[in-house]
Chains A and B, each alone.
Chain A
Amino acid sequence: MIGSMECGTVLIVEDNDVLLETFKYVVESEGYHVLTAKNGKEALAVLEVTPHPCLILLDMFMPVMDGWEFLNQIKLKEGDLIVSLPIVICSAAGEQKLAETAKEVSGYLKKPVDMDVLINTVKKFCNPIQKNNGATVSN
């Protein structure tokens, strides 16, 4: 599995500590490897090391670097107008701005996020590293 380390890896970007840990907990319980970042800047740093997670869950309203700036930075890096990484944005406010951004990326999760919706979204983009039959999660 060394060659496909990033397979089954999900990057979660969320500024609220408790919510970040909660997302991590839910996604890990399905057998995925989870990387976390508390803002766009941290997320870019994570991508330097792990450039191809199979999914990025991205909060939009964050300090230091918000979700929009993060998307711009990725575009600049890839020299492309369309973000090719699978990204699902995750936000509470149903604003026009969010709806437009959602079209640019792979999907949109509305807060408060439902567990089954979150799990199914992650499953849609990646296969878990270890098959988890749902009993308990081994750390």
Chain B
Amino acid sequence: MTPVTTKPRILIVEDENIVALDIERGLERLGYEVVGVASSGEEALHLAKNAQPELILMDIKIKGNRDGIETAEEIRKDFDIPVVFLTAYSDEGTLQRAKNVGPYGYLLKPFDETEMHLAIEVVLQKHKSNRLKEVQSQNDLNLSEERFKLFVDSNKEYALFMMDSVGNVISWNLGAERIKGYKPDEIIGKNFRVFYTDEDRMAGKPEQELELASSTGKFEEENWRVRKDGSRFWASEVITALTDEQGRLRGFGKVTRDMTAAKIAEEGLRRAIVVRDEFMSIASHELRTPLSVIALHLQMARKIREQELKSGAGSDRLLTSLDISIKSVKSLGSLIDALMDVSKIHTGRLQMNFEITDFSKLIQNTCKNFEYAFDAAKMKFDYEIDSGIFINCDLMRVEQVMVNLLSNALKYAVGSPIKVSLKADNKCAYVSVQDFGSGIPEAMQTKIFDQFERVGSPSVSGLGLGLYISKQIIEAHGGSIGVESEMGKGSIFKFDLPKEKRA
């Protein structure tokens, strides 16, 4: 036997004095300290409280209203003291009852000192290690709860909060504060309905979501939610029903992420795809129109020539067809040029060849070239060009901008008079092209300088690239281009170019 180094304190509960004394002596011999002897349950309870034994040797059959097992149960409610039962009964029922109390051992009477010593030591050891485990696991639990709480409280990425069973907010973390804009004291106790849009509240969505969460355990969705300041954000959320061990609903946990940035990026992408697809359809339509003309005229030319060869006669119809075909090939070419320009812009390869240019002459000539077209369209066309303005620019590219603005005037301001003006101060040259047409809606005024955007698409012909390319050209010169327009009154397209290219 290992010697007992410290003296464990033992309470004896035994109503037969001689047996009690015998056990007491035995215990002392084994090196234990007997803190008392009780002969009834009541006495045992009293001593357990006051003498604070570390172990109780408990006879099952004792005096009083309670037997040993009942007394042990009583004691266990209040004190964590291991019990070794002493019993003369070896019937299963009694032993089972003793075991159910959850204590640690029993000795069948009669027992000798060694048996007693062994039983006591085993129980003490078991008790000690159980206790250690409990403390350990409690510590672990405390630690992980602590960590979890810290994680929840300090998490800024996620709004993590709890609600009671009807959706009133009962906890609030930093993320919730950041995403939804409420301080804890502003929201705790309030119903989570305030996070929903008016439409969703009207439709009863908050209640439906709790209903779904409680019936299926979880509800997930992505949708618009409202911040404290009324602004909307795209939320990805999960509502989890929290139930107790009996399965009764205790409340809800809610995790929300602000996915607005991702949503905007996604919609931007979607929009870009739609715009691109629309453009592809417009481009194919635009390219096919001159192709139709060319194909038909070449077929007609062939037919005419065939007939001429048969009849020996000649006509200028053949020349007309060929002329129109040649013109259409040119317009096809300029459509392809525009596509190439955009491709160059996208890859940063739109090169400018700067040279000192007589800008007055350039604008003057371009306008002159349009006189015939405006005349044919029965549109009054005036230009007021200050002479002697020289700037450092890419002549071809600037001409391209001017041609684009005049073509647009011809195309969009049907029947309206057109006025062109060129002025300059010592820094810049200023060009404006004014029409008195239907005007451009405000929402479109900046969009028309984006690629593939057109006013009144898709019925008006054109690729919708002209103003986009023009803007890139003007900006490559360090200048700016824009439009002033009023519905029903007309539009003024303006651009300015620095005389010397800015760095």
Contact = CB atoms under 8 A, between A and B. Distances in A.
- Asked if A and B are interacting partners, one says yes
Interface of A: 15-16, 18-19, 21-23, 25-26, 29, 61-64, 66, 91-93, 95, 111-116, 118, 134-137
B307 A136 contact: yes
Nearest to A25: B300
A18 B293 contact: yes
B317 to A, nearest CB: 8
Contact of B299 (A15, A18, A93, A115): A115
Contacts of A115: 295-296, 299-300, 303
Chain B interface category by residue count: 20 to 34
A73 to B, nearest CB: 15
A26 B311 CA distance: 20
A66 B459 CA distance: 7
A51 B303 CA distance: 33
Contacts of B295: 112-115
Contacts of A23: 296
B324 interface: yes
Interface string B334-354: 000000000000000000000
Given A18-B293, A26-B296, A61 B285 contact: yes
B307 A16 contact: no
29 contacts: A16-B293, A18-B290, A18-B327, A18-B331, A19-B289, A19-B292, A22-B292, A22-B296, A23-B296, A25-B321, A26-B296, A26-B300, A29-B300, A61-B285, A62-B459, A63-B456, A63-B460, A66-B459, A92-B285, A93-B281, A93-B285, A111-B291, A115-B295, A115-B296, A115-B303, A118-B296, A134-B303, A136-B313, A136-B317
B286 to A, nearest CB: 8
B274 to A, nearest CB: 14
A135 B289 contact: no
A22 B288 CA distance: 14
A118 B295 CA distance: 12
Given A19-B293, A22-B293, A63-B460, A93 B300 contact: no
B315 interface: yes
Nearest to B458: A61
A101 to B, nearest CB: 15
Nearest to A20: B293
Nearest to A110: B288
Nearest to B302: A115
Given A18-B328, A29-B300, A92 B315 contact: no
Contacts, number: 81
B299 A114 contact: yes
A92 B315 CA distance: 32
A134 B307 contact: yes
B142 interface: no
B284 interface: yes
B324 A22 contact: yes
B265 to A, nearest CB: 29
A26 B285 CA distance: 21
B136 interface: no
Q: Identify whether the interface residues of B are mostly helix, strand, loop, or mixed.
A: helix
A15 B285 CA distance: 12
Contact of A111 (B281, B292, B303, B328): B292
Nearest to A69: B459
B139 interface: no
Contacts of B292: 19, 22, 111-113
B280 to A, nearest CB: 10
A93 B284 contact: yes
A50 B288 CA distance: 30
B289 A111 contact: yes
Contact of A92 (B288, B313, B459): B288
Contacts of B289: 16, 18-19, 92, 111
Contacts of A29: 300
Contacts of A21: 324
B307 A112 contact: no
Nearest to B315: A136
Nearest to B327: A18
Contacts of B290: 18
B61 interface: no
B297 A22 contact: yes
A15 B288 contact: no
A76 B311 CA distance: 50
Contacts of B327: 18
B178 to A, nearest CB: 46
B288 A111 contact: yes
B307 A63 contact: no
Contacts of A25: 296, 300, 321
A70 to B, nearest CB: 11
B57 to A, nearest CB: 93
Contact of B284 (A66, A92, A113, A137): A92
B450 to A, nearest CB: 21
Contacts of A137: 317
B442 to A, nearest CB: 21
